[in-house]
Amino acid sequence: MEKFIVQHCAPLRGTVRISGAKNAALPILAACLLTREPCLIQNVPPLTDIFAMIALLEGFGAKASFDTSAQTVSVRAETLSAPSASYDAAGKMRASFLAAGPLLARLQSASLPLPGGCQIGSRPIDLHLKGFSLMGVSSRQEHGIVDLWCKSLRGKPIYLDFPSVGATENIMMAAVLAKGTTIIENAAAEPEIMDLADFLRKMGADIQGDGTDTITIRGVKELTGATHTVIPDRIEAGTFMAAAAITGGEICLEGMGEDLLKPVIAKLAECNVKTETSPEGLVVCRKGRLRPANLKTMPFPGFPTDMQAPFMSLLTLAKGTSVITETIFENRFIHAGELQRMGARIKIESRSAVIEGVEELTGASVRATDLRAGAALILSALAAKGETEISDIYHIERGYHQIDEKLRRLGADIRRAQSS
């Protein structure tokens, strides 16, 4: 097992290229199962979750190859040999259940383990199953396996009780080959939804309304192959923006615009962090002491839950009291205890965290409890006095490609070492 050793650093400066969005690439790769023809997906980050999704597709009988240097994935699902996946192939990754919609569309059946991933709270699949049921799908859950089957998929109006990203994506992918029209109301509107819809349209799907709360999908008889470039990762971008802010530096996010990051930019402005658009990309810098801010995580276009932990790190050094309210996941404050080991003053009250800013953090031995918590610990370690050791970094590498190398190019003192 590896760990990161991070020393206090000077303000970070320079330019960083943001990788493709993992949360956009995963459903797009799953959507490649919808066609017999070859698909080429570009700007795919070589992350453990991506490799897991590719292995999952291969388990269904698709042929897939990943050129990690070019960051392109080629997939051809000309024939699908089986609609089922083992726990080893699917159970460790939340996005594995996104194969259900495409498998139902192609084979009228699917058998998948209940999804895994970071332990940040309950992430049930009930909304996925509700949507599928309305489309004519029967389901059974036994021994951690979800079996799904139908005679044919039928387009139907579907209202989601919560704008779930995963349920919206899964229903969209099932609906593109269903008979009739599917209307998803209270749909998620995240940029990753729009990226998936763009890919499906390139394949010949008839989709309208993505990016709003009502998405209309008219089923077609078949889809073709397509080439698609994945959007940049707005959470990685937000993390590097927070890195500029917490170290008092200036970082240019190469090629990034404001569209994907408006809620993060707005909260950074409250914290005394300036963001400007330049010909090279988005430039982030901090002038003076960090100011406190209150924030509440919400579905897009609200403040993203994946940026909650990095912002908590930032607010531990703000002058004053901040309050973070987490509305998406009920168990997403585990990192607060690790930040307290570094001297942060944080009090958890149900789904809110009250943060009293301190003058400085100090290095300590801490553990990444999940993906975004790990990123938050790196941020705090950059600003903390002394040395910080971060263990269980495999969580971080599920969502950040070469984050240590990117930070070193900006002036950070971070290195890998073997855990004892």
Point out the annotated binding site. Answer: 22-23, 94, 123-127, 306, 328
Cis peptide leading into 191, omega within 30 of 0? no
For this structure, is 118 an active site residue?
Answer: yes
Backbone angles phi, psi at 151, to 5 degrees: -75, -40
| β-pair type (321-325, 352-356) | antiparallel
| CA–CA dist 301, 262 (Å, integer) | 8
Strand order across the beta sheet in which 39-42 lies = 63-67, 72-76, 39-42, 227-229
| CA–CA dist 99, 105 (Å, integer) | 10
Q: How many residues can be counted in the chain?
A: 420
Token pair belonging to 89: 């192939």
Strand order across the beta sheet in which 13-17 lies = 13-17, 250-254, 281-286, 273-277
Point out the annotated binding site for UDP-N-acetyl-alpha-D-glucosamine. Answer: 94, 123-127, 306, 328
Point out the annotated binding site for phosphoenolpyruvate. Answer: 22-23
Question: H/E element holding 64?
Answer: strand 63-67
| CA–CA dist 78, 375 (Å, integer) | 39
| CA–CA dist 84, 313 (Å, integer) | 41
Asked if residues 326 and 299 have their Cβ atoms less than 8 Å apart, the reply is no
Asked if residues 336 and 316 have their Cβ atoms less than 8 Å apart, the reply is no
DSSP H stretches of helix in 248-294: 262-270
Asked if residues 313 and 354 have their Cβ atoms less than 8 Å apart, the reply is no
Question: If you count DSSP H runs as helices and E runs as strands, how many of each does the chain have, helices first?
Answer: 13, 23
Backbone angles phi, psi at 149, to 5 degrees: -160, 155
| CA–CA dist 193, 204 (Å, integer) | 17
Q: Which candidate in 118, 252, 271, 285 is catalytic? A: 118
**Which of the residues are catalytic?**
118
